[in-house]
Amino acid sequence: MKIFCEKDYDAMSHRAAAVIAAQVVSKPDCVLGLATGSSPVGTYRELVKWYKQGDLSFKEVRSVNLDEYYGLAPDHDQSYRYFMQTNLFDHVDILPENTNVPDGLAKDPAAESERYERLVAGLGYADLQLLGMGRNGHIGFNEPCDHFPVITHLVNLAPSTIEANSRFFASAGDVPKQALSMGIGTIMRARKILVVVSGEEKADAVYQAVCGPVTPEAPASILQLHPDVTLVGDKEATSKLMEAQA
């Protein structure tokens, strides 16, 4: 695993955006696996800036998002489809038909999970998968549990995730209790993985992911088995890791 410890959120975002830009420049028709949440906002901002400067094009890129809240419409301002539109898709030249996010309004979540998994597989899985990391070590919405979920599925969000994400909603009661998420197997089939992580509340999760045992109780720990992972964190998120290595 390559680990970059950056001085702050902006430096982290710049570093992560450079990895994504390198992927797009090297393979313009690549499949990008994308994430939402506060961690990648700055990364997307950098990508939009480079697109506007004429240095980057997403014209041939296909994208697959990790997850979507179950029960939220695409135009709900907290849906992950809405997040992607407002943070990236609406500002670059990616073709709308080449962007994919699970359907949060699907009546049959099992059928939607199957459809989405088939879609990702049909695209050959991600060339580069961008991930954030939950405070509890989740990746996508694969919460700590007694096994590694393999494929796209409906997840019951952990109380700590609902609490953490309540900052985006009027109250914790408004946070959806379920989400559709790629499985750990889907994520691990990406050719390259890029993790962005910031803030001291992530320091334990980062330490466990890199130095702890590989266990589904710390889902991100499985990244130790992937041959091409780059983790970019700010000082706070990588503090425990750096202390251990000092």
Site string for ligand F6R, 74-103 (x = CB under 6 A): ------x-----------------------
* 104 lines the binding site for ligand F6R (CB under 6 A): no
Q: How far is the CB of 93 from ligand F6R (least distance, A)?
A: 23
d(CA 86, CA 40): 13
Phi, then psi, of 109 in degrees rounded to 5: -65, -30
Among the listed residues 33, 37, 109, 144, the single contact to ligand F6R using CB under 6 A: 37
d(CA 159, CA 136): 10
Q: How far is the CB of 167 from ligand F6R (least distance, A)?
A: 8
Bridge partner residues of 230 (DSSP): 2, 194
Residue 108 structure tokens: 């049959």
On the 0-12 / 13-18 / 19+ scale of CB atoms within 10 A, 183 is buried
* 67 lines the binding site for ligand F6R (CB under 6 A): yes
Among the listed residues 20, 24, 35, 106, the single contact to ligand F6R using CB under 6 A: 35
Which of 65, 87, 98, 136 does the annotation list as catalytic?
Answer: 136
Residue 54 structure tokens: 């004429």
Q: How far is the CB of 227 from ligand F6R (least distance, A)?
A: 21
Minimum CB distance to ligand F6R smaller for 13 or for 36:
36
**What residue type is 223 in one-letter code?**
L
Cβ atoms of residues 65 and 120 within 8 Å: no
Q: CA distances (Å), 169 to each of 17, 40, 136, 166, in order?
A: 27, 19, 20, 5
Site string for ligand F6R, 137-176 (x = CB under 6 A): -xxxx-----------------------------------
Among the listed residues 39, 43, 63, 113, the single contact to ligand F6R using CB under 6 A: 39
* 231 lines the binding site for ligand F6R (CB under 6 A): no
**Per-residue buried b or exposed e for 134-152, using 16+ beta carbons within 10 Å of the residue's own CB:** bbbbbbbbbbbeeebbebb
**DSSP per-residue codes, 7-39:** SSHHHHHHHHHHHHHHHHHH-TTPEEEE--SST
- Is residue 136 annotated as part of the catalytic site, yes or no? yes
* 219 lines the binding site for ligand F6R (CB under 6 A): no
Site string for ligand F6R, 113-132 (x = CB under 6 A): -------------------x
- Is residue 143 annotated as part of the catalytic site, yes or no? yes
The contact set with ligand F6R (CB under 6 A) reads 35-39, 66-67, 80, 132-134, 138-141
Q: Which residues form the catalytic set?
A: 67, 136, 138, 143
